[in-house]
Structure 1
Amino acid sequence: MKKTLTYSLALVASLLFCIQASSQEYRKDRLFMPKGTSSGGLQISYVDLSSIDSDIFLIVDGLNAEGTMMSVAPFFSYTYKDNKAVGLKLKYSKGSGGISDVDLSLLSDDPLLSLEDIKASTRNIQLQFFQRSYLGLDQNGRFGLFNDLVLSYGTSRSSFSVGEKNLDAYTNTKKVKLGICPGIMIFILNNISTHVSMSIGGVSFTHTENFKDGVLSGSRDYTKAHFAPDVSDISMGLTVYF
């Protein structure tokens, strides 16, 4: 948790730096990414969450839940102006989770609902277009901050099971999101850099369809605006420049 908090503070600070940089006159001694630079790379993410590590679920008695989420995202970008770039990213995510036991009686002595051994899995694919702003931190151009303004479209499918029984029920979701994702970048070689980034929210529109026995049982459309560090969307990447 301390490491996550450190990432959060650092990445929020990077966003503030990038906003400040965009409002100031461009400085040649802080050039981090020169015009005409092309790059390609790979970004990965892995998150392991558990109800034991979270204070959010303390109101639920006997909750034992855990889940994992991993993603792989190749990307390409082009610097159209000094310290300004645009790019495309294709992101594939896969996650799974389960609740081994939960008692939802809460404030009553009589159990209202008790659930056991519920599992869910999800797969998601996203196409992202991003506009990136850089801010160099040293005159040698080795250390820098960046901020991505990301427009994404994604589709996902989630399925469920109880115990050893697979439920013939699943959910299809389509989502459009405009988000903010700041990060920190370091050049480890002249043409290779590594970075850490984190989503801090955005505005999204989601369309969800629920199916039971292959028949549409319900759908929902909703819009959401949320701005806060997202610990489930911390990514590390490696970039090659040419």
Structure 2
Amino acid sequence: INSNVYYLDRTEPEPAELHVEVFRTSRGSSMGQVKLIQNNKITCLYSSLCSDFEYMKGHSGLETPLPEIMYSVKQDDFKVMNYENFKLGSTPSFIQQLNMSVHPDHAWWDREISNDAAEARCSAYLELQGGIADTFVLSYLADILPPVVQNKYGPLGWVPTLALTCNIRQLPQTNLLFIDGLAKDISNGYFEQDCYIWDLKGNLVATSRQLAKILKSEEKISS
């Protein structure tokens, strides 16, 4: 239900080791840590708090509703996110099973509004092949958006995520989901990107916050 990831170094598509340590187990939850080690170096550190929604009980309230921007244009007017539009063969394998359509104001590769009028934001419909998302898929989707600062400033090259926190709030009831990501507070190239995911019945199912960095930001973003 909660995970924290620190990306300490680049992980390459080659063999790696996972070292798992369980800190605590109880009737209601468990907690542990995983180290991803490659070439004798820790490249990623992951900690998580786990529980089971099937057995959770308690009051629910103070709901976060679907954002108004979802209703600002028809779903059919959202633009399909296709990496092949940018460069043939550039679609990462881990998103080839994902259907994503982006709000027309957030489709930085094909939109009518200027950068000055644009937000550092990306709102989109998401659907992954294979049925309703489970907790693992929700964790994956919580970091699926491209860096949303691109919608404001245009292509910025590689924008690495340094730390990511994800909270799974409940399991969705619909295959199709809606995601809303917003960046703010750029300071010395670092910025926070917040993400919210709902099912189409209006249930908030996951949230995330990440710290990322725009490399050589003083060169890429004009004043």
| Smaller-chain TM-score bracket | under 0.3
- Length-normalised TM-score, structure 2: 0.28
TM-score (norm 1): 0.26
Which has more radius of gyration? 1
